[in-house]
Amino acid sequence: MFRGSSFLIKKSVKHFEKLIRKISQRGQEYWEIDVDKYSDRNIELLLKLKWDIEHYLGETEERASSTLATKIILGVFGSVPAIDQNVKNAFGINNFNKKALEKFIDFYKRNTSLIDSCKIKTLDFFTGKETERYYTKAKIIDMVGFIEGGKNL
């Protein structure tokens, strides 16, 4: 997740403490958001979450990127695709905002049966065995964007 150009590579683990505390205090509503549930309220929650991540990781002159913020949201909550260069290319977006989330909604609506048919179980970190939890729709869309967006590079 961290590259040489990221200011975070020079930070200790202690730097993440405020962010971890803030994320851990999020309510159940954050854990239930997926692309098929992107209501106006949930979009507002996701954009606020992005802002909080950027705020708690960044400093005045150094801000966490939207790519890093969305990677964290995807990794923790599974509710948005990580908006990296491939996803930007695939969906024709430039940033994480309401317009980008609406593009994901539109993509999901046009491909609902295919996305819903992708049942990929997560793996237990310690055992490597499958769990009863499945990848979210946002994670499936993230994988599509990663593959499709990389074709043009």
Q: Are 79 and 105 in contact (CB under 8 A)?
A: no
Q: With helix as H, strand as E and coil as C, how does 28-42 read?
A: HHHHCCCHHHCCHHH
Alpha helices by DSSP H, listed for the chain, are 17-24, 28-31, 40-57, 66-76, 85-91, 98-110, 112-117, 137-150
12-26, 79-93, 112-126, 137-151, range with the lowest pLDDT: 12-26
pLDDT at 14: 81
81 three-state secondary structure = coil
Q: Where are the domains of the chain?
A: 12-150
For the chain, the residue count is 153
How many Cα atoms sit within 13 Å of 75 on the Cβ side? 11
> According to the model, what pLDDT value does residue 102 have?
97
Asked whether the predicted pLDDT for residue 16 surpasses 90, the reply is: no
Specify the pLDDT at position 6: 60
Question: Cβ contacts of residue 29 below 8 Å, gap of 6+?
Answer: 42, 45
- Over the stretch 67-93, which tens digit does the pLDDT of each residue have? 889 999 999 999 999 999 999 999 999
Q: Give the type of residue at 86.
A: N
pTM score above 0.95? no
Cα dist. 35→73, 88, 116, 141 in Å? Answer: 13, 17, 11, 9
Radius of gyration from C-alpha coordinates of the chain? 16
pLDDT interval class at 9 (50, 70, 90): low
Instruction: Report pLDDT for 118.
Output: 95
